[in-house]
Structure 1
């Protein structure tokens, strides 16, 4: 999971979290044929289409932290999504990406001190 997100996530309670993580991160994200960046781009489309900005926010932070996408690329993704999932949903993604980018840039500046 740390390879996908760039940090360790704590386990949730019960077997559900463990089973889900084993399947998603142990199987789906490790299959050959697509890079993590490819998977993340596909996931942004699915999350935008289903209105899950909260999950997309986690993915955006991970993409920046892992060097898979740049802030400019996230901005382009939100514009692209406007045409395919609608302007209201694409605009939500745009503002969410802006917040993630701002936080990422603050972290980068702090780390450079």
Structure 2
């Protein structure tokens, strides 16, 4: 594995909050890991929290529930944002994106918070395998 791929996978794992396997031979995955995570997410100038807030804003604007859940879960897991801050983002963004998209983000955040609370009550962490499967599905275009 070359240095850019290693660096990209490390950042991807940090951003998503779990161990993403290296998928060889998929041009879209290569672009995602090498360019997006190996180069763009590793640029200086913005904190991880700043990048997470911008990413959540974009996925809210697009109405992408699955990616909103992945990003909210990682933000909580990496302690970049609290549940209250994520809920407040949904309220704030509703004023700019409209009620349907703001409420979708609020629903995704609420779902993640509920899942994490139930897992904590059972003495477990969040379901990382489900997150990895969702991310692989998202990146494969299914």
Normalising by structure 2, report the TM-score.
0.72
SS at match of 1:99: helix
- Residue 30 of structure 2, aligned match among 3, 8, 18: 18
Aligned to 1:98: 110
Aligned residues: 112
5+ residue gaps, structure 2, are 1-11, 126-142
CA deviations on 1:23-53 (whole Å, 9 max, x unpaired) are: 1111111110101110010111111111112
Alignment of 1:1-113 (within 5 A): 1-12=12-23, 14-109=26-121, 110-111=123-124
Displacement of 1:19 in angstroms is 2.3
SS at match of 1:30: coil
Deviating above 6 A after TM superposition, structure 1's stretches of 4 or more consecutive aligned residues are none
CA deviations on 1:32-88 (whole Å, 9 max, x unpaired) are: 010111001011111111111211111001000001011111110110110010011
Counterpart Cα distance in 1 of 2:66 and 2:109: 11
- Contact persistence 1:64–1:104 (CA under 8 A): no
